[in-house]
Amino acid sequence: MYMAERGTLQIWNGRDPETTEEREQGVGEWCDEEFGVKGAVEMSVMEVFGAFMGKEGLTWQRYQAYAVLKRLGYTVQRTRAFIPEHFLPQQEPPKVSFAGSISGLLRSISNGLRRMATRLFGKLTASLRCLSTVGLGIKSLWNNPLRGTALSLWSGDSYSSMYSELRFVPSGHSNPTPPQGSSGPAVSIYDPLERNPYLPFFHIWKPVTAWSKAKWDRGSTEGLVKQKPDYILAVVESRDTPLPTLSQLSEVFDLLPDEPTTQPKRVGPQYANRPAPRSAPQPSSNTRLSQWLDWLCWWRAKATIPQGNAIHAMRNGDRGLIVAVNDSGNTGWVRFGRIGFENYPMV
C-alpha cells in the first residue's frame, strides 16, 4: 500500500476469460507485448486501499504511523507476534541426540548445585549481618532515641535500610499486579490487541542504522539480539481507546527489553572538539580509611547504587514504549516509561 501510494508499485487486477473468443485472445495469460497479464486493469490507490485495508491486522491508524516513519527514513517492521504465519519459516522439531541429552542433564545438575550454593551463601551472609548488628541491638536496650516511632525496631546503619523499614506498601516491578479476568481462547494472532491495544506492533530502527533483513530474521529472538531495534511502537485510536490500565502496562513492559543506562551517544560537529574531562581528584586519607573499613566489614549490607547517570536513567526509565495516538487522521506520539524509585537512593 505504501509503495502504491507513492507511485513506485503498480498493481493490476487480472480476470479469467469468460468467452471462447477471450480465451483464444489470451485473456488472463502473460503477454510480452503488454508486459503484463492480458485483460488486466491497473488498480487505483483507492482500490488498493479498499482491497488490503482491514486484512492481516492492517488498520488505517497503523498504516498512517507506518507511512510517516517510512517517509522520515526509518526502518519499520512488525513484531514477531503479529507477523502472519505464512511469512514465518516452518519450524522443524528439534533433533535430540545422546550427547545433547547428556549435556542437558549435566547442565541441569550444575544449575541445581549453583542455586543450592547461592541459597547457602545468602543464609550465611544474613547470619553474619545479624551478628554485626548485635552490638547496636544491645545498645538500644538502654538508649533508643527512636523509641515510640516507626523506626523503633530499626537496626540498620544506612539510609536505604531506614527507607526499607519505613516502607509498609510493597514497591517494585517484581511485585505482581492484581489478577485480571482471563479472556477466551484466541482464534487469531490479532485477538490480544482487542484486550490490550497497547501491545507492541512495530519495531523501528533509526535511518543511520545499518539494517539487514538476514540479521533481523523475521523478528526472532536471535535476530533482535543482532539487530536490536531503537524504538518499539504501538498504535491506538484516541476516540475509542482509553488510557492504559496498570495491568495493561505491566503486560507490555514485561515484553520489552531493558533500556541502556548510559547517556546516548552524541553525533555531530558540535560534539567533535569537546574539552577533555578533568582528572578525578585523589582520594583523601578519610576516604581510604572508609574504603579499608568497608573491605574489612564485607558482610555488612551496602546501598546498591545503579551505574550511570541516575537522573538520566530516572527520566528515561528502564523500559520504554512509544505509542502513536491517531486522532481522526492526526498522529501524535506519546512515550510511556517505567521506573522504580526504590532502586535510586537520593540520600
The residues of the chain that CATH labels 3.40.1350.10 are 59-84+189-263+299-347
State which fold the 59-84+189-263+299-347 domain adopts: Trna Endonuclease; Chain: A, domain 1 (3.40.1350)
Low-confidence stretches of the chain (pLDDT < 50) are 134-141
- Cα(133)–Cα(299) distance, integer angstroms: 11
pLDDT for 90 equals 77
Segments in the chain forming alpha helices (H): 2-6, 20-25, 45-52, 60-71, 98-132, 134-142, 159-166, 192-195, 213-216, 221-226, 246-255, 285-296, 310-316
Cite the beta strand spans of 168-217 per DSSP E.
Answer: 202-205
Q: Dihedral (C-alpha) 116, 120, 126, 131: value to the nearest 10 degrees? A: 180
311 and 220 Cβ atoms separated by less than 8 Å: no
Q: What is the reported pLDDT for 25?
A: 82
